[in-house]
């Protein structure tokens, strides 16, 4: 069983889309994505600097668009058995599984990015990765500081979110055996701070048609398989203010008998986590079109 995984915010880097736009039809497709998301994704993915593409209103549609560009470039995508996305990557997974049209996925993620940026601007909040240590001890320390474990990423990585001063206290006095790394994001995503964004996204999503998944699809909520398109759409909305349980997704992949992972662009993070949590499972990170041959080899049962 080969599973396609779609990355979340923070995976973008300046100019990363340039090689993808050299493929036939890619520039035209990205221009259409730009119109749907109301962001100039061509300029964002090829010209804008790190600060500009860190903006939540830009980063979220940019990542989903890049994932769908690389997904549509994958000749062997018909041999993918299931999909899952990390945070905003769930919108790309929804389109890949046929739950949402690409148009609706890009329109909704544009709304999501703008709504989350507005929510983030209301208070001084952020996120930090906590690497290593005992998970229970880390969660206990976060509770003491009124921080939220926003991403359970597996592989010994948890992301804390909340007020900037509390994150600074965590970094100054980390839990034994951990490293605290501030993340380049604009707010405390997947926490109570994002409640206003949930309301705005829910209103938009209620007007969007869904189909039941054509591929097996796992949710960030608890790592379970979702069989209803309408239920998955609702989970996409609620996930904005709920923790990402990528650790449970990877446990579910193992239980399902995963034999390989293909991470769509901008790739690298999720395959890296899988190397620690799904030891021995081969993976391919589609960073540039040069990686397509390796992905197809994996899908054909050859060595990646």
Provide the H-helix boundaries in the chain.
26-37, 41-46, 50-54, 56-73, 89-96, 102-121, 135-144, 164-172, 195-205, 229-238, 246-255, 269-277, 292-299
The whole model's pTM is what? 0.94
Helix (H, G, I), strand (E, B) or coil at 278: coil
Sheet with 244-245, edge to edge strand ranges: 178-182, 125-132, 157-163, 148-154, 244-245
CA distance 283 to 274: 8
Average pLDDT over residues 220-241: 96
**pLDDT tens track for 75-129:** 999 999 999 999 999 999 999 999 999 999 999 999 999 999 999 999 999 999 9
Domains, the chain, with CATH or none: 2-120+191-299 (3.40.366.10), 125-182 (3.30.70.250)
Is pLDDT of 293 > 90? Answer: yes
- Reference 190, options 253, 134, 237, 259; nearest CA is 237
| pLDDT value of position 220 | 94
Active site residues: 87, 190
Sheet with 2-6, edge to edge strand ranges: 216-217, 82-85, 2-6, 260-263, 283-285
5 has which bridge partners?
84, 263
Structural tokens at position 13: 């880097």
Q: Mean pLDDT across the chain, nearest whole number?
A: 95
């Amino acid at each position: 069983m080969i599973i396609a995984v779609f990355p979340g915010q923070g995976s973008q880097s300046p100019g990363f889309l340039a090689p993808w736009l050299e493929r036939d039809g890619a520039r035209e497709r990205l221009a259409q994505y730009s119109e749907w998301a109301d962001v100039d994704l061509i300029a964002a993915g090829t010209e804008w600097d790190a600060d500009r593409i860190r903006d939540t209103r830009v980063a979220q549609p940019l990542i989903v668009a890049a994932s769908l560009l690389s997904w549509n470039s994958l000749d062997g995508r018909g041999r993918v058995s299931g999909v899952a996305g990390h945070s905003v990557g769930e919108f790309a997974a929804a389109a890949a599984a046929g739950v949402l049209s690409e148009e609706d996925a890009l329109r909704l993620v544009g709304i999501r990015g703008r709504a989350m940026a507005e929510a983030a601007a209301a208070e001084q909040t952020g996120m930090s990765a906590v690497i290593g240590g005992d998970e229970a001890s880390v969660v206990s320390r976060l509770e003491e500081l009124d921080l939220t474990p926003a991403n359970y990423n597996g592989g010994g990585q948890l992301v804390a979110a909340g007020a900037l001063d509390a994150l600074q206290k965590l970094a100054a006095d980390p839990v034994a055996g951990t490293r605290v790394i501030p993340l380049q994001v604009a707010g405390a995503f997947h926490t109570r701070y994002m409640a206003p964004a949930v309301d705005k996204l829910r209103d938009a999503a209620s007007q969007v048609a869904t189909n039941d998944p054509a591929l097996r699809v796992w949710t960030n909520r608890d790592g379970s398989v979702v069989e209803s398109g309408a239920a998955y759409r609702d989970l996409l909305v609620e996930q904005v203010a709920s923790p990402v349980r990528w650790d449970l997704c990877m446990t579910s992949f193992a239980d399902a008998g995963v034999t390989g992972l293909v991470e769509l662009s901008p790739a690298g993070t999720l395959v890296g986590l899988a190397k620690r949590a799904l030891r021995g499972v081969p993976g391919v990170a589609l960073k540039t079109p040069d990686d397509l041959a390796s992905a197809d080899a994996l899908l054909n049962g050859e060595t990646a």
